[in-house]
Amino acid sequence: MCCFTRAVKWVAATKIFARPSRDGSQILVYQMSFHSDEELAMVLPIPVPKESGERAVRFIDLKGYPEFFPDLENGFPGPPLSRGAVGAAGGAKAAQPKLVVHDVGDFEASFVPRIEDFRRLDERFRLPKAAWDELPQYIDWGFAVFKLKPGKDNFHPMAFTFPRANRKQLFFPTVHIHDGKVHATAQFDHALYFQLLDAEFSPKQGWIESTVPAALHMNMRKVGDMFDGGLHSYRREIRGRQKNEDVWL
């Protein structure tokens, strides 16, 4: 879900990597290019178990590995992916403490356990209440919030792990909110990637398998346990106007 708390001029080249962890959580790495003239945040709803605590999400600093997605793409056949731009389309209670803010490379990040906890963030980093009213599927979810700097077009990847409400599914946040409103369709410029915990996978329609295992194209020292160096990865591209919804595997 590429949801911005203020209007953005353009968003392009969104890349998302997902992988299950052996403890049942999910790794998520997210990167895009965008431009805005004001300070804002990006909100990523995540399907965590109900009543997850404020420490349920672990943020990962990838500032030292800005080549994460170019290296990942090097494992796949064919020409480089297109990089065209895509046109862009609640006060806290006194008794409630502010949410914990984590320094994660170029970002300040927080985990918001429930929609009502957005009151504990600065108003600039909340989505309009009307947007949540149109997204009832997120009523029991948590939210990773990344504060972004105005005027900056490119960021190193954002990364974190979260406990999954359903350990049998991988989640890719692809719903768009670029202007404070929820539209039925949206312009996609996405490359999705994933790796599983073992080699037993039959690629589904639209997914392409890498030509070599991860150790031959990723910096394994920098990714740590986010990858299994002996396994292949998979990629799917979603381009053009599509139904405005998340992707599950």
Q: Which H or E run includes 240?
A: strand 234-243
Q: pLDDT tens, 149-202?
A: 665 567 789 999 999 999 999 999 999 887 777 889 988 999 999 999 987 777
The CATH T-level fold of domain 2-248 is: Baculovirus p35 (2.60.250)
Name which residue leads in pLDDT, 101 or 170: 170
Whole-number Å distance between alpha carbons of 150 and 154: 11
Q: Token pair of 183, please?
A: 């539209």
Show the DSSP H helices in the chain as ranges. 68-73, 129-133, 220-223
Per-domain boundaries in the chain: 2-248
Question: Which among 87, 142, 75 has a CA at the least distance from the CA of 111?
Answer: 142
Name which residue leads in pLDDT, 101 or 1: 101
Whole-number Å distance between alpha carbons of 21 and 28: 10
On average, the pLDDT of the chain sits at: 85
